[in-house]
Amino acid sequence: MMEKWFNNNTVAKILALAVSILLWAMVHLDSGTTAPSLTTSYGTRTIDNVKIQTIGLDDSRYELTGMNTDRVRIQVRGQRSALTSFFGDDYNVSVDLSHMQEGTETLPLMKPDVPFGVEVVSMEPSMITVTVEQKQTKAFNVKITPTGEAAEGMHVGAGVADPTTVNVTLPTSRMETVASVQGFVDVSKASSNIENRKVKLKAYDKNGKEIEGAVLEPDTASVVVPISQGYKSLPIKVSYTGELPEGLVLSDVNPSVTEAAVYGTPDYLSKVQGSIHATLDLSRLEAQGTTGVQVALTKPEGAERITPESVELQVTVAPFGEVQDIRRTMTDIPVTLQGAASAEAASITEPQSRSLNIEVSGPENLVNNLTNDDIMLVADVTGLQAGDHSIPVQITLPRYITRPEGSQPLMVTVNVQEASVPANTPEQTAPESSPDAENNQPVQGNGEATPSTTDQAGNTGESSPETSSDDSSQDNNNSQP
């Protein structure tokens, strides 16, 4: 049985292990030696550019405006494994400003805060100089500035902010740099009012640069921006310069569009009136027939722009004698006074409406497009003594428009008073210039054109002021198309 047990492999292995352990123990006990122990490795490291943190400052009243440095260098010692496990951001250095008021002081830095297992060997610098300034608060009006382009034809009005003012807090020395407080509103493609939109407010200097560190209270505003139709349509009137070739007369002028859009502020558009002028140079027309001529439109003074900026005129020129005139009565054309010492010195007493009707003739298209603004009626009271006077009215008509042959002179009754006695009815004493003044035909009190006449070729020339009413009428009637 015993022999069988010793021949078993498992038992043999166990016995061999036990004998080996016994022999190892005996060798070490006899020699008096001990097992080697583990040793810990230490080292040092320099950490550059550790940022200095400020603590304790009453930032509701003061602001740190200067530090001679905001970084330090520290040398630390510790286990090498710990030194290599941490980065520069794991080290903190602070300065306590809790006792600081306005002024400059040199203060010690607090002991650095370092990771566990690391100790500080040195720190450079250990003192820093800081400057603290008292804050100031001032109220500023809020300006709303639109950005982008509104929808075509729309005008962007001045934005209104709620609240209209905000408080800006800055160090006293920097407060004077604040030029404005603004909020920006995007009006791109807007065709109606922008209402109750929240915008961020910021303080800016005179160069439009944002002022860093400015504290605004509140820092947002509710904004309304009016968006309105930004144009007004005015009729297009054609004026003339130059002369047609001999033997030709103007028969018809038709613009491709009859109105132009004038763009401007609402205040400007509420006042602008009259017409947009296109000046046709007749010398460009060299032969009879219908020709398309592109003519620039004159932008009224004060307008931002007009559309279109030019218009095509379909101009018909015919031989003299082939053009048929039509007649038309223009009604309620106001009469203005000229030559009075003052506005109170003379007044029109008859007709009481201070306006007259006048019959005109000319090419059909030109006559049909005529308006009261194209005709000027003036009564000259120069040299009249005090009292009532019946005086002729001078008539100014557009070029190529005349009065029919045999037309009676236009008359008004004027009351002239002594300069010291005010008149009952003030009257305008100096007429405004007609839009077509350079092309108009001034007419004497008998109603017929005298300063300018038109010959059979359509050319104008000076005539004698003494021309009789019958002769003048005949000449103009025969010469106009």
Encode pLDDT of 100-158 as tens digits. 888 888 999 888 888 877 888 888 998 999 998 888 999 999 999 999 988 877 888 88
Closest CA to 71 of 35, 116, 25, 125: 125
Q: Which two tokens stand for residue 144?
A: 């709303």
Cβ-based burial of 79 (10 A; exposed 0-12, middle 13-18, buried ≥19): middle
Closest CA to 427 of 334, 346, 341: 346
Average pLDDT value for the chain: 79
pLDDT band at 30 (very low <50, low <70, confident <90, very high): low
Half-sphere exposure of 2 (CA within 13 A, CB side): 0
147: three-class secondary structure by DSSP? strand
**Maximum C-alpha span of the chain:** 173
Q: What is the pLDDT of residues 3-19, one digit of tens each?
A: 555 566 676 777 777 77
Q: How far apart are CA 264 and CA 299, in angstroms?
A: 11
Q: How far apart are CA 66 and CA 441, in angstroms?
A: 80
What pLDDT sits at residue 420? 55
> Among the listed ranges 334-348, 354-368, 413-427, which one has the minimum average pLDDT value?
413-427
What pLDDT sits at residue 430? 44
For the cut 90, the answer to whether the pLDDT of residue 479 exceeds it is: no
Cβ-based burial of 304 (10 A; exposed 0-12, middle 13-18, buried ≥19): middle
Q: Summarize the confidence of residues 427-434 as an average pLDDT.
A: 43
Output the CA torsion 59→63→68→73 (10° steps): 20
Check if the beta carbon of residue 95 is closer than 8 Å to that of residue 128.
yes
Residues in the chain: 481
Tell me the residue ranges of DSSP E strands in 345-386. 346-350, 355-363, 376-380
Q: Summarize the confidence of residues 415-440 as an average pLDDT.
A: 52
Q: Summarize the confidence of residues 322-332 as an average pLDDT.
A: 87
Cβ-based burial of 275 (10 A; exposed 0-12, middle 13-18, buried ≥19): buried
